Amino acid sequence: MMKYLSSHIEKRNLVPFVWIGLLMLILVGCTRPFFWMDDDVPGTFRMDAILEWEGQPYSLGMETEDHMNHPLRLDNLQMYISEVALRNEQGEWEKGDKVHLLDFNVQNQRILDAFPPGMYDAIRFGMGLPSEINADIDPASYPNDHPLSVVGSAGMFWTWASGYVFVKYEGKYALQAGEQLIEPLSYHCGTDDSFRTVTWELEQSIQIRRQNLTTTELVFDASKVLLGEADSIDIVMDPVTHNSEGTILGGRLMDLMVDAWTIR
């Protein structure tokens, strides 16, 4: 009788260990245990787009002056931003997968993308669209809420064969102070050759946390489209370019825009 009781007690004592063992096997077999910190769960990185002129806040429709003292007013500024990427501590670039259309006619313009948790010390993005999604693509093939669709692109394409307009920089100017702003300024830059990459080294690394939002400011100084360290544009001599087939002026403008960005 004592032997039976002893055996019965031993079996009962083993029951919790059996259940614990089974539970551990189940958890080890799972690819994402619920109590582990899952590095595959991304965080959201947001860049708030801010427009400036010569380092001061600027809104479309405001009258200002260019570097040659021509009275000037920007009425439209739109541009595609693509291939947003962050550089991690290992020096590798983590790439977002979205295309963004910034339209400074609309307030609170933002670029949002998902990235793995971690520390990042540099930001990179493209102005325009990479060749594989630029020309020979029909905007009607995208849903209406996509920035490359007929509706979503808001007219930012020439034809489905020639491709999208990467940047529209439009307004009016006058030849001298006191005159009405009636001269047209219209820069439409595009084509695969116009694609440019902007890379910004951060003074202080940013941290992306899983399922959290991290924000920074992406500042575009529109005055630097006309005046940079290596080049300048005379809007009286060159007031228009629509380089659906590529022009020297369009390339110069895109080069100047690379240095028009600041991240802070």
Among candidate residues 134, 99, 132, the one with its CA nearest the CA of residue 244 = 134
Among 142, 158, 148, CA closest to 101? 148
**Average pLDDT of the chain to the nearest whole number:** 86
Mean pLDDT, range 20-46, rounded to an integer: 56
Q: What is the pLDDT of residue 253?
A: 95
Q: How far apart are CA 223 and CA 67, in angstroms?
A: 8
| Rounded distance between C-alpha atoms, residue 216 and residue 47, angstroms | 5
What per-residue confidence (pLDDT) applies to 244? Answer: 58
Q: Is the confidence at residue 134, as pLDDT, over 60?
A: yes
Q: What is the mean pLDDT of residues 200-212?
A: 93
Contact 261, 200 (CB under 8 A): yes
Q: Per-residue pLDDT tens for 175-190? A: 999 899 999 999 999 8
What pLDDT is attached to residue 137? 85
pLDDT at 78 over 90: yes
Q: What is the CA radius of gyration of the chain?
A: 27
* Structure letter (DSSP) for residue 12: H
CB of 255 within 8 A of CB of 196? yes
pLDDT digits (tens, 9 = 90+) for 120-131: 999 999 999 999
Chain centroid to Cα 123, Å, comes to 10
What share of the chain has pLDDT > 70, as a percent? 83
Q: Are 175 and 6 in contact (CB under 8 A)?
A: no
Fill in the amino acid letter for 194.
S
pLDDT tens-digit profile of 58-77?
A: 999 999 999 999 999 999 99
pTM confidence score? 0.82
In angstroms, the CA 141 to CA 22 distance is 51
Instruction: Please determine, for residue 191, whether its predicted confidence score (pLDDT) is greater than 70.
Output: yes
